[in-house]
Chain A
């Protein structure tokens, strides 16, 4: 076997071998640019992706059960919010045992508050409420924080919605005056975003450094589309050359056979 690889051969073979990963990265990049607008986070594909080696069959122990929030209950039990769900930890036969709350399985639980109308949980997939009937989603928003107020209401901080308050867990209203007060801050009172070398590298990579957060999709689109374009045109050229060479060899063989 002879190895005489020139730069063009290296280029061809590395491209052919890495073509599929390249296309996966390019195509997925186009989706990431509009992840929010396309509502990609609302599509649950958990049952369909178990075959991918990175997800595996069983959830990884440790990381998903790291505590992020907690609430002591009147009966001595604790509710523990983790990156991978909500758990009730209580003493059974003198031993602490954890029990998963099924409704909140697999979602990051960031905060827990006890209100007179029930327990309010701020989770990545929404604000949840536990009443006598069980757990139900009270708000379909990415929630960061839940706080029980002295007047019996609960205030939650939700992504893109600001601070919302409720006295019954049913009706949620924006806290009046908070947004205008924050918007009225003068530039002198606001500290500029700290840019570290690590952050600069991320922002150069995502295009935020050039286009800002709202327009970084232009950068992502450009690079993702070029990636996909080069991948497909390269594949097309390679495929054409291979089939052409095969046809030529077949023609030559047939011609030789005809000559006898």
Chain B
């Protein structure tokens, strides 16, 4: 029972970590896009 609980917690933690990595990547992509839009709009990047 405790072992199953431990495995379940580990899976949740792993998913949380994957979500964090995804968010981080998405944030960086958004940052690059923002710079590109600004550049196209004539503003200083």
Contact = CB atoms under 8 A, between A and B. Distances in A.
Contact of A31 (B9, B34, B37, B40): B9
A252 interface: yes
A10 B2 CA distance: 42
Interface string B1-41: 01101110110010011001101101110110110011011
B44 to A, nearest CB: 10
Q: A24, A39, A232, A256: which has the most chain B beta carbons within 10 Å?
A: A39
Taking chain B's interface residues, is the majority helix, strand, or loop, or is none over half, making it mixed? Answer: helix
A35 to B, nearest CB: 9
Contacts of A28: 13
A242 interface: yes
Contact of A39 (B3, B34, B41): B3
B20 A19 contact: yes
A242 B43 CA distance: 17
A252 B41 CA distance: 7
Nearest to A26: B13
A39 B33 contact: no
A224 B37 CA distance: 40
By size class, the interface of chain A is: 20 to 34
Interface residues of B, number: 27
A243 B6 contact: no
A28 B7 CA distance: 13
A256 B16 contact: no
Nearest to B13: A27
A253 interface: yes
Contacts of B24: 16, 19-20, 235, 239
A63 to B, nearest CB: 27
B3 A38 contact: yes
A235 B33 CA distance: 18
Contacts of B40: 253
Interface string A224-256: 000000011001101100110110111011001
A132 interface: no
Contact of B34 (A42, A235, A239, A245): A245
A239 B21 CA distance: 11
Nearest to A240: B27
Contacts of A235: 20, 23-24, 27
Interface of A: 16, 19-20, 23-24, 27-28, 30-31, 37-40, 42-43, 231-232, 235-236, 238-239, 242-243, 245-246, 248-250, 252-253, 256
10 contacts: A19-B20, A20-B17, A20-B21, A23-B17, A23-B20, A30-B9, A43-B6, A242-B28, A250-B34, A253-B38
Given A31-B13, A239-B30, A246-B31, 16 more contacts: A20-B24, A28-B13, A31-B9, A39-B6, A43-B6, A43-B7, A232-B16, A235-B23, A235-B27, A236-B23, A242-B30, A242-B34, A243-B30, A249-B37, A250-B34, A253-B38
